[in-house]
Structure 1
Amino acid sequence: MGLDIWFLLAIGFSFSGYAAYLLGLRRQTIRPNRASWLIWATATALEALTYAAVNPGAPQGWVFALSAAACILVTIGIWHRSAWSPPSPTDTFCIGTCLTALVLWLVFREAFWAHMLVVAAVPVSFWPTWASIWADRSRERSPAWGLWTFGDLATLLIAVRGAELGVAELGYILVELLCHASVWFLIGLATINPLRSLGARRGGLFIFDRYRPSTNLFRVGENHLGKAVFAATGFAEGDVLLEFTGQRLRADQVPSRMRGRGDRFVQVTPDHYMGPSGRLDDLVNHNCAPNAGLRFGDEGVFLVAIRAIAPGEEISWDYSTTLRESNWHMLCQCKAPSCRRVIGNFDSLDAERREWFRARNLVAPYLQRDEVTEKRAVG
């Protein structure tokens, strides 16, 4: 009976993890490493086959088989939503290791060694994700990593309770347990909390818990308009300050009458916006003479310093650098000497200012128009 309980727990934790991860993908609250998932989809499918060959009839083989199917489903979801880049040398090495294992199994029928090669490839496959999290742990906010760790523990207990115990029996389970647990520790054990990881619904949006910045980088204070973000230390020109991480929304999903504090939407394409994140980036205000600007890249949307910023100075950016909406405007009270009084879309800026932002890659990509076309338009 105990074995049945652990088997059900292993299945339950594993599939709860995949369900949470798929939900995070759908809500765009996580940014998984595409290379790792492509490798995992291949490796888990191969592992399920080789494990079944080495241990026919073992109940944990079903855990591997169902996990492989779920892993492939997640990878398809990532593929559908993402643009794929060529694999790195590390990715290529891991894929090559898995293909070698497949050849060993299919050609030479050496299922044991194929199984062990996949075990060795698992830590390599985690490397792109570890590197991504080390750079920014908010990329993996999902509670799935904690659930997968618990599932691995249950699967390990199933194996320990088995009649025979060997390297092939335990190798993959132990390595998976250590790898899943390492990611969970890196992103923070508190991410098992669904509110922190998946976001709380507020209308049509999912708002995260408050981001707690390091006190030696920023502080949240008040200015003449309300809440604002201030530098608690100095920044040099070009420094990355924050990442904007709001939920991506279609234009028809954005409330039509959002003003003031409620208007925390950033236009990222002609048809899509980034909504509020519930984090520090929501509190960065507009200024007609900003000290920072938004830079769009393959890894995300980042606020970067466009000049040296002194401690105590408010962080700000120019809202017009992402907008093309013709009917949007907002009265400006930034009090800068060059204040435009009314904030409008990108075309409301003069040609010289537009070119200044474009030359520094501080506008939304869809506003980066050909320089020749721009000059003709001005002429």
Structure 2
Amino acid sequence: MAGVGVWFAIAIACHFGAYCAYLLGLRRDMVQPNRASWLIWSFATTVEAVTYVALNPGTPQGMVFLMSAGFCILVTLGLWRQSQWSAPSATELFCIVACLGAIGLWLVFRNTFWAHMLVVAAVPVSFWPTWQSAMEDRTRETSPAWGWWTIGDLATLLVALRASRHDIADLAYIVVEISCHAGVWLMIGLATINPWRSLRRGGMDTGWRFRVGDTHLGKAVFATHRFAEGAILMPFTGRRFHADRVPSLMRGQQDRFVQVGAQEYMGPSGGYDDLVNHSCDPNAGLRFTDKGVLLIALRDIAAGDEITWDYSTTLAENNWHMICQCRSEQCRRVIGNFSTLSPERQEWFRRRNLVAPHLRRRDSVTRIEGDTAAGQ
């Protein structure tokens, strides 16, 4: 029984540490959890934990389930508090309905074994929105929590195997949980197991090409190694929104929407691209290509340099402005749309193909009209 106690303590420690790391990452805008998955997990773990403890009082697995339920609720509340509402996708809606339906059937099923197996089958469905999100952009889930959840699940499995009686349904549930947590961990990279990365001063160093740190403006993105001029730094991703669906165009430094078309905006992705700050003397710029929106190095960037770009190079919106605090020698004091740049600066960005397409088209129309007028 002493061995069971050790593995139980390891399971508790791993799960507790994982949830703390994930909550800290959420607080620091380092992860963008999928709301559909966490809504399912909050409801499911709460119902299952309460039911399991009622049927199996005093078991160590019950304590782990109760702790997980409490933390799931905390993550979900934090996630919904700091994110803008958007309707779930068709896939997310299907997963929510399927999982909640399985839990409902589980509560009324007379056959305990098959009721529990129904919940086991629903676990991968609940993970699907998170897997899909991580496949689109792994930085959304770059947290050491996934590795520690996997290890905690393995410890829980050992506790269950060393118990006096083995419940096949319980073992199946734990094995599926291990597989699902490990699946996310593999997607984001096994190197993200180090829990201290969430606690380091200056932000979470993810071990990739960038790290997030703090500046006088708040969060910022820094290079972790050298980039040559012209190098592709990162893609800008995120859901596209029509202009009338953007929550606010006047939120200044808190605005994480990038104008990508005359009436189209790109919302926050939850990745590094959300945290790249403006500078009137940037070392990077956005290039719109067939492969997407890419951040390109405008000059050599050394390890430790903050990555910045000029927000005006995508803006056509006349009503948006922001007081600039970039502290560069070329600081314009106020950031506005592309037309607020000097003609020389506009041409500088055009020659490097670092102007948004909707602005290039407008510039072309202006030049054509000017040439026509001159010819007349």
Q: What TM-score do you get using the length of structure 1 for normalisation?
A: 0.63
Pair 188,102 (structure 1): closer, same or farther in 2 beyond 3 Å: closer
* Correspondence for 1:270: 252
* Correspondence for 1:34: 35
Q: CA deviation at 1:194?
A: 3.4
Pair 85,153 (structure 1): closer, same or farther in 2 beyond 3 Å: same
Q: CA deviation at 1:304?
A: 2.3
Matched position secondary structure for 1:231 = coil
* Correspondence for 1:366: none
Structure 1, residues 250-274: CA drift from partner, whole Å, max 9, x if none? xxxxxxxxxxxxxxxxx99325388
Pair 57,244 (structure 1): closer, same or farther in 2 beyond 3 Å: same
Structure 1, residues 267-322: CA drift from partner, whole Å, max 9, x if none? 99325388xx999x86997679x96269xxxxxxxx9259xx99999998434458
Q: Measure the CA separation in 1 of the matches of 2:250 and 2:153.
A: 40
Pair 47,360 (structure 1): closer, same or farther in 2 beyond 3 Å: farther
* Correspondence for 1:242: 235
Pair 167,184 (structure 1): closer, same or farther in 2 beyond 3 Å: same
Alpha-carbon contact 2:30-2:142 (below 8 Å) kept? yes
Matched position secondary structure for 1:360 = helix
Q: CA deviation at 1:211?
A: 3.7
* Correspondence for 1:325: 323
Alpha-carbon contact 1:228-1:284 (below 8 Å) kept? no
Matched position secondary structure for 1:29 = coil
Alpha-carbon contact 1:293-1:318 (below 8 Å) kept? no
* Correspondence for 1:119: 120
Matched position secondary structure for 2:84 = coil
Q: Measure the CA separation in 1 of the matches of 2:294 and 2:170.
A: 53
Q: Name the count of aligned residue pairs.
A: 299
Q: Measure the CA separation in 1 of the matches of 2:281 and 2:187.
A: 36
* Correspondence for 1:346: 335
Matched, 1:155 2:156: yes
* Correspondence for 1:201: 201
**RMSD value over aligned CA atoms?**
4.6
Q: Which runs of 5+ in 1 are unaligned?
A: 214-219, 234-239, 246-266, 295-302, 333-341, 363-379
2:200 maps to a residue whose letter is: A
Matched position secondary structure for 2:201 = strand
Runs of 4+ in 1 over 6 A off after TM superposition: 281-285, 309-316, 326-329, 351-354, 356-359
Q: Measure the CA separation in 2 of the matches of 1:144 and 1:76.
A: 18
2:34 maps to a residue whose letter is: N
Q: CA deviation at 1:154?
A: 0.9
Matched position secondary structure for 1:16 = helix
Q: Measure the CA separation in 2 of the matches of 1:201 and 1:158.
A: 36
- Alignment counterpart, residue 292 of structure 1, candidates 272, 286, 292: 286
1:292 maps to a residue whose letter is: L
Q: Which runs of 5+ in 2 are unaligned?
A: 211-222, 239-248, 257-270, 302-306, 316-320, 361-376
Q: Measure the CA separation in 1 of the matches of 2:76 and 2:52.
A: 22
Q: Measure the CA separation in 1 of the matches of 2:323 and 2:47.
A: 50
Matched position secondary structure for 1:131 = helix
Q: Measure the CA separation in 2 of the matches of 1:149 and 1:49.
A: 23
Pair 39,84 (structure 1): closer, same or farther in 2 beyond 3 Å: farther
**Identity across matched positions, percent:** 47
